Amino acid sequence: MRIAIFGGKSQQDIDKLRSAFGKEGYDVYLPELASDMSAAVDEFKSVRDGVIGSDMIVCGENVVNENMRYHLALALEYRRPTVIIVEEGSKVTETIKSIKNRNLTVLEYKTDKDVEAELLAMAGKIKDSLDAKLFMNIPPSMNKYLDWVATHTRFSKSDVVREAVEKTAQGDTAYQAFLDRLEK
């Protein structure tokens, strides 16, 4: 599972979160922000790919700045579970809480230990959840096979489709290269 971190109170806080997620075995993606306008297109592509390749997005309360608002919008557009961490009593909390989106969670915290524990718990829930829905138009011959599997084996139709997609993804060299690029 991959978690993207978009900003935080300080670089030290970001490093702590990265370390905590890393200890639990999660890959962490940190975007490199463009230093000038000529790098903005590359930054867009990098952040977009980072969101696509991540299962959870964590944003600091600095998400209200212009650059980070874009990252937040992109995460929500791609329907990724997104957590904004804000210090309890922060002035931006009410503004952030006014954003209505089922994939957005605002996590208020008192101490760094609180936020780490809560984020790790959320990551565990997301990792264990099967919430991506896929509707497909398939030919009757494929549906017959899936019906047979559901009736005569211990697998459901979605188990068979999930396994086929996982196998295809593992063998897709372009997709694996995409994931490898995100880890650098």
- Going from N- to C-terminal start, the domains of the chain cover 2-128, 140-182
Mean of the per-residue pLDDT values of the chain: 83
pLDDT recorded at residue 130 = 61
pLDDT recorded at residue 93 = 72
Is pLDDT at 168 greater than 70 in this prediction?
yes
Give me the architecture of the 2-128 domain, per CATH. Answer: 3-Layer(aba) Sandwich (3.40)
Helices vs strands, H then E, count in the chain: 8, 5
Q: Which residues contact 116 (CB under 8 A, 6 or more apart)?
A: 16, 17, 20
What is the DSSP pairing of strand 56-60 with strand 27-29?
unpaired
Each residue's pLDDT tens digit, 145-167: 988 888 888 888 888 998 999 99
Q: How far apart are CA 135 and CA 106, in angstroms?
A: 30
Highest mean pLDDT: which range of 102-106, 108-112, 134-138, 178-182 = 102-106
Which pTM does this prediction carry? Answer: 0.67
Average pLDDT score over residue span 70-93: 85
pLDDT recorded at residue 170 = 94
Q: Please list the residues that pair with 106 across neighbouring strands.
A: 84
